[in-house]
């Protein structure tokens, strides 16, 4: 499991992504709040990340990076709107985590085949497995 510092980094990165269109909508905020609860981050600390970002740490393992990418895909789709700016930013964030560009592209392409653009975790994992073989 991630350290507390890593958890803050995860949330900070997600908050920055939610702010890419200069507006954090209620569904995005609620999604982020639920992630913070799952990670065991206090509400006051979570809310503080909207004002001051935490140090950015790239998740250590491949599995953690894929999980973070999946969280970001879910966050992008929570409001049912995918703007080109969000898609480009998500793509860049995946690259920054060292994920294979072709796997990122495939996830962004297939998400439209699922209800609410929510790629099932097993599908996402299979995509990344195929690109690592």
Top pLDDT among 131 and 29 is at: 29
Task: Say how far apart CA 24 and CA 26 lie, in whole Å.
Answer: 7
Q: Is the pTM of this model over 0.85?
A: yes
pLDDT confidence bin for 1, thresholds 50/70/90: low
Tens-place pLDDT, residues 60-98: 899 999 999 999 999 999 987 778 889 999 999 999 999
Q: What is the dihedral of CA 18, 123, 59, 57, to 10 degrees?
A: -20
pLDDT, average across residues 7-20:
95
What is the domain count for the chain? 1
Residue range(s) defining the domain that contains residue 12: 4-132
Count, residues in the chain = 133
Distance CA 74, CA 59 (A): 18
For residue 133, pLDDT over 90 is answered with: no
């Amino acid at each position: 499991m991630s350290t507390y510092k890593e958890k803050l980094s995860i949330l900070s990165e997600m908050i920055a992504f939610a702010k890419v269109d200069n507006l954090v909508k209620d569904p995005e905020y609620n999604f982020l709040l639920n992630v913070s609860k799952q990670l065991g981050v206090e509400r006051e600390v979570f809310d503080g990340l909207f004002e001051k970002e935490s140090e950015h740490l790239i998740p250590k393992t491949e599995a953690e990076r894929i999980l973070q990418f999946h969280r970001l895909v879910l966050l992008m789709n929570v409001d049912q709107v995918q703007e080109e700016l969000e898609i480009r930013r998500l793509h860049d964030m995946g690259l920054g985590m060292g994920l294979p560009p072709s796997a990122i592209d495939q996830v962004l392409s297939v998400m439209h085949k699922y209800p609410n653009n929510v790629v099932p975790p097993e599908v996402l994992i299979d995509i990344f497995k195929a690109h690592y073989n």
